[in-house]
Chains A and B, each alone.
Chain A
Amino acid sequence: MQTLLFLILFPILAACLLLFVKRTTLRYAVVTLSALFIGGASIYLLIRYAFGDAVYFAAPSEGASMAMVAIEMVLALFIIYMGAKFRNYLAIVLAVVQAALVVYLEISFPGSLHAVNNLFVDQLSIIMALIIGIIGSLIAVYAVRYMETYHHHHPEVRNRQGMFFFVIFAFLAAMFGLVFSNNLMWVFFFWEVTTISSFMLIGYSETEEATKNAFRALVMNLLGGVAFVVALIFLAATEPTSGGIDLARVLASGDAAVILIPAVLIGFAGITKAALMPFSSWLLGAMVAPTPVSALLHSSTMVKAGVYILVRFAPVFAGTFAGFSVGLVGGVTFVVASAIAISQSDAKSVLAYSTIANLGLIAACAGVGTYMLVWAAILLIIFHAVAKSLLFLGTGAIEHRIGSRNIEDMEGLIVRMPKMAVMMFIGIAGMFLAPFGMLISKWAAIEAFVQVPFGLIFIAILAYGSAVTVFFWAKWMGKLVAVTRNVERVEKGFLEEPWAPLYIITGLVIAAVFLFPVISSTLIEPYVLAIYGATARLAQANVGIMLLMMALLLVLPVSFFLFRRTAKHLPVYMGGRPATPDLHFAGSLGLTREVQTRNYYLTEYFGEAKLFRPGAVVCTVLILASWILAGVAL
């Protein structure tokens, strides 16, 4: 239990310390040391608890719960203050409603608000803790130098780095708390802390746009928060059959119909947090924040809390129409967001849509909730966290050097920033190509959906979704690998971000492929087995083939040495006109003209304006349907 408490409390300690650190070097030292402690502790957690059953801890209850309610009230006041300051009355209303509901819950059901065990750890918690502890803290380390450069580039932004790092570490603490809590009141508390943290981080630059987007994130997540409290009230009111606010008891409850309603409500909170449609706009708006924030929100925190809770409740959803409906929200989000990604040229925007799409896929797996799908969902969470954090951090580093994050401007990155380009290449490959992780998960999902009644609709979603995924990633990759001539190498620059986090995460993307059989057998399979009594795994032969493919991919670059010898280099074909290697050709009247290449964005078919609204409407209907279906089941 000490490890759990350490992981929750130590980041808070580090956060408070960082509030007062002014010098970058000192901040760097503190952040790096804290990251080492947090990462180390999460690995210790793995060694200590991975090989047994779930372990529950009573943990101090009364005082902690009281403190949490008090903090919740302070946070509500804070939202009201901010809402009044920026005239966002919707945020105030939601904060008031939520606070009122919490008070009502505390007063009306004092007897039903106790969990026997407040903390627990099982394999799913360990997986989440590793993602938070390793990826999250690497992002924090990267952020120190990044923020220094950021302020150099943006002198107009008020330097609030003390607050910034305070929130980052508080965020990590809240995430740890969320995945270790067995008491749903505690889960809710940490849930709200992540909402506020993201609000603070998105609004960091204090521009009008940032503030607006921060409030949008806040409002949407508060909406989910309200649904969460309503679920808690429902659980408390039906304590004898539903199990009250004790997560383990709720999941073990025999009365499937009673717990389906809170599951769908908490699932709705998960949908808002995971930025599924129609709530995707908050995550897209979050791009205004400094890049490490995006990396954190997209990979290891925030949205992962949303899908974590959906995966937790997957056994409740399994086999119900309400769950199927929740799954469809994810499925539709997957295919629509993937399609919109085609039309985006801003790197962060492509990454954001891809995140939304993948979260949708995870939600689709969790909503349908068979054991094979839960296995696939957890794999997706792991691989997505690793690859996506790499891509965001890489995009941030590129933006600081080439002054743009437009994919068109990344043309020829392999010449200008070879190391960075290779890392981005691996990150992108990790998102959609065999034998990397995301593809393994999609594959597993297809095999699993085939065996589900009406699973065909998900198969169709996956088939089309995968097709568009290939398109938007491959054309980005193409831009990176174009060998342009007469351009400068800009890999080095003043005020460099440390590259170590990038190197480590790149290594993790590749290692995940080799380690995936081990990850599956020691962590995912025992978890799925404990809950469903059956588990999925990939056939040995297929694992062997995947490893063979990975080995081939690692060996193939050696072939570069074979080509060096005799090849004669010529400029490209330009309709037979005399051409130079840097894409200039002799035009008419003795003029030299330049050719440029641009990717296809197919806006007419896949534009945001065309697809976002229909997707949002369909998902809204599906969410309402899930509520009705859960109500009918009761």
Chain B
Amino acid sequence: MNGLIGAVLFLILAPIAGGLIAGIDRKITARMQGRVGPPLLQPFYDVGKLFEKENVVVTTAQNFYVLAYLVFIALSGALFFAGGDLLLIIFAFTLAHVFLVLGAYAVHSPYSHIGAERELIQVMAYEPMIILAAVGLYMVGGSFYVADIAAATVPAILYLPGVFLGFAVILTIKLRKSPFDISTSHHAHQEIVKGITTEFSGSTLGQVEIAHWYENIFLLGFVYLFFSWNPVIGVAAVAVTYVAEIFVDNVTARVRWQAALKSGWLAAAVLGLVNLAILSYMTIGGA
């Protein structure tokens, strides 16, 4: 029952929270760049306006794929906040992204084609680390269920510092922040047209944006799991992590896809695997 409430609350509140965070993000980013920045609610105005635009498509099929992307992103987030199985959530999340990629392929356009390929490279770059993060949380909490992990009384972060850092690296990919915003970016200045979303417009683009809000809240929830033994520290850690991501976003330039792939995989191998290897050695030694 708790799970159902969590899921419903996520579905209703996540777009609001996600939009607000996007607004804060833009404000902080602007200050870092010495600008005043847009009003806090600007992301909502933007998306609202997108839904009023004329309905223009390259092919009807693109609407289907983007809708499926939105639905499955929302579903994976809802499962997360319902306390479901972390691995299943990760797989649903991958499914969602495959739909976005297929939407970009379906329009058969050179720019979104490049965006789609790069998005796939991103998926390939972050997938190992996100699975290792789930396994790490399992090794500490003894369960793959988010509900059990969140209820843990041990500070997971102390056992998983490497995994957390590795997760922070791929979080940059997932939040579409520099230096890993290779498939599409929030910054016009380092964009090849608009990457994967080039051919999406109007309400379709609005759906992509809302999906991104859902996604961000889900990812921040994932960050929270590392600190869930103490809610206050947890929320603070999430805030600090996000601000750090904004900082990184503003002080780095987009790298090539090779570097993105290598970074994601190295993070998984060096930070993730080594951490887990030490952890499993310790648990075997302790038993």
Q: Are A462 and B63 in contact (CB under 8 A)?
A: no
Q: Residue-by-residue, is A461-474 near B (CB-CB < 8 Å gives 1, otherwise 0)?
A: 01110111011001
Mask for B58-73, Cβ within 8 A of A = 1, else 0?
Answer: 1111011101100110
Any A CB within 8 A of the CB of B132? yes
Chain B residues near A483 (CB-CB < 8 A): 58-59, 61, 106-108
In the bound complex, CA of A460 to CA of B131 (Å): 9
Q: How far is the CA of A456 from the CA of B136 in the complex (A)?
A: 10
Residues of A within 8 A of B113 (CB): 597
The contact of B55 among A484, A566, A595, by CB within 8 Å, is A566
Docked complex Cα distance between A542 and B68 (Å): 21
Give the contacts of B107-132 with A (CB-CB under 8 A).
Answer: 107-113, 116-117, 120-121, 123-125, 127-129, 131-132
Contacts of B169 in A (CB 8 A): none
CB-contacts of A445-493 with B (<8 A): 446-447, 450, 453, 456, 459-460, 462-464, 466-468, 470-471, 474-475, 477-479, 481-485
**The one of A412, A463, A478 that contacts B131, using a Cβ cutoff of 8 Å:** A463
Q: Is B284 within 8 A of A481, CB to CB? A: no
Interface assignment of B56: CB less than 8 Å from any CB of chain A: yes
CB within 8 Å of A: which B247-279 residues = 261, 265, 268-269, 273, 276-277
Contacts known (A471-B124, A481-B102); A434 close to B94, Cβ less than 8 A: yes
- Known contacts A456-B277, A467-B128; A568 and B105 CB within 8 A of each other: no
Chain B residues in 8 Å Cβ range of A411: 108
Chain A's interface size range is: 35 or more
Say whether B108 contacts A467, CB under 8 Å.
no
B276 with A456: CB separation less than 8 A: yes
CB distance from A167 to the nearest CB of B (A): 39
The smallest beta-carbon distance between A300 and chain B, in angstroms, is 27
Find chain B residues with CB under 8 A from A459 CB: 131-132, 135, 276
A-chain residues with CB within 8 Å of residue B117 when the two chains form the complex: 475, 599-600
* Residue ID in chain A nearest B116 by CB atoms: A478
Distance, CA A575 to CA B120, complexed state (A) = 23
A23 interface residue per 8 A CB criterion? no
Chain B residues, Cβ within 8 Å of A433: 91, 94-95, 98
Stretch of A100-108, A148-156, A400-408, A554-562 with 4 or more beta carbons under 8 angstroms from chain B: A554-562
Q: Are A474 and B121 in contact (CB under 8 A)?
A: no
Partner of B108 from the list A460, A468, A597 (CB cut-off 8 Å) is A597
The residues of B that contact A482 with a CB separation of less than 8 Å are: 105-108
Q: Are B105 and A481 in contact (CB under 8 A)?
A: yes
Contacts of A559 in B (CB 8 A): 63-64, 67
**Is B246 positioned at the interface, with any CB of A under 8 Å from its CB?**
no
A-binding segment of B16-24, B28-36, B80-88, B216-224: B80-88
Does B171 touch A at the CB level, under 8 Å? Answer: no
CA distance A459 to B162 in the complex (A): 17
Q: Which of A466, A478, A546, A572 contacts B102 (CB 8 A)?
A: A478
Q: Does B154 contact A (CB under 8 A)?
A: no
Judge whether A439 is part of the interface by a CB distance below 8 angstroms: yes
Kindly identify, within residues 127 to 155 of chain B, every residue whose CB is under 8 Å from any CB belonging to chain A.
127-129, 131-132, 135, 138-139, 144
- Indicate whether B181 reaches chain A with its CB closer than 8 angstroms: no
CB-contact partner of A460 in B92, B105, B123, B273, under 8 A: B273
- A434 and B88 within 8 A (CB): yes
C-alpha spacing A481/B107, complex, angstroms: 9
Bound form: Cα–Cα A468–B129 in Å: 13
Contact of B52 with A by CB under 8 A = no
A453 to B285, CA, bound (A): 12
**Contact-residue bracket for chain B:** 35 or more
Q: Which of A462, A564, A568, A572 has the most CB of B within 10 A?
A: A572
| A-side contacts of B236, CB under 8 Å | none
In the assembled complex, B160 has its CB within 8 A of some CB on chain A? no
Q: Which of A574-610 contact B (CB under 8 A)?
A: 574-575, 581, 583, 595, 597, 599-600, 605
Is B79 interfacial (CB-CB < 8 Å)?
Answer: yes
Any chain A CB within 8 A of the CB of B173? no
Do the beta carbons of B55 and A568 come within 8 Å of each other? yes
Q: Does B57 contact A (CB under 8 A)?
A: yes
Q: Pick the residue among A484, A485, A549 that contacts B92 (CB under 8 A).
A: A549
- Tell me if A567 is interfacial: C-beta within 8 Å of chain B: yes
**Chain B, Cβ-Cβ closest to A583:** B108
Q: How far is the CA of A570 from the CA of B85 in the complex (A)?
A: 43
Chain B residues near A549 (CB-CB < 8 A): 72, 75, 92, 95
Q: Which residue of A lies closest to B139 (CB)?
A: A450
Decide: A572 and B109 in contact? CB cutoff 8 A: yes
Known interface pairs A564-B60, A574-B110; A466-B131 also in contact (CB < 8 Å)? yes
- Residues of A close to B57: CB separation below 8 A: 563, 567-570
Q: When A450-B139, A468-B124, A571-B58 are in contact, do A552 and B132 touch as well, CB less than 8 Å?
A: no
28 CB < 8 A contacts A-B: A414-B61, A433-B94, A433-B95, A434-B88, A434-B91, A434-B94, A446-B131, A456-B280, A459-B135, A462-B131, A463-B135, A470-B98, A470-B123, A470-B127, A471-B123, A478-B101, A481-B105, A484-B108, A556-B71, A559-B63, A560-B60, A568-B54, A569-B58, A571-B58, A572-B110, A573-B109, A597-B108, A600-B121
Interface on A for B, CB 8 Å cutoff? 411-412, 414, 433-434, 439, 443, 446-447, 450, 453, 456, 459-460, 462-464, 466-468, 470-471, 474-475, 477-479, 481-485, 539, 541-542, 545-546, 549, 552-553, 556-557, 559-560, 562-564, 566-575, 581, 583, 595, 597, 599-600, 605
- A475-B120, A477-B105 given; name 9 further pairs at CB < 8 Å: A434-B95, A477-B98, A478-B116, A560-B64, A567-B63, A569-B56, A569-B58, A570-B58, A597-B108
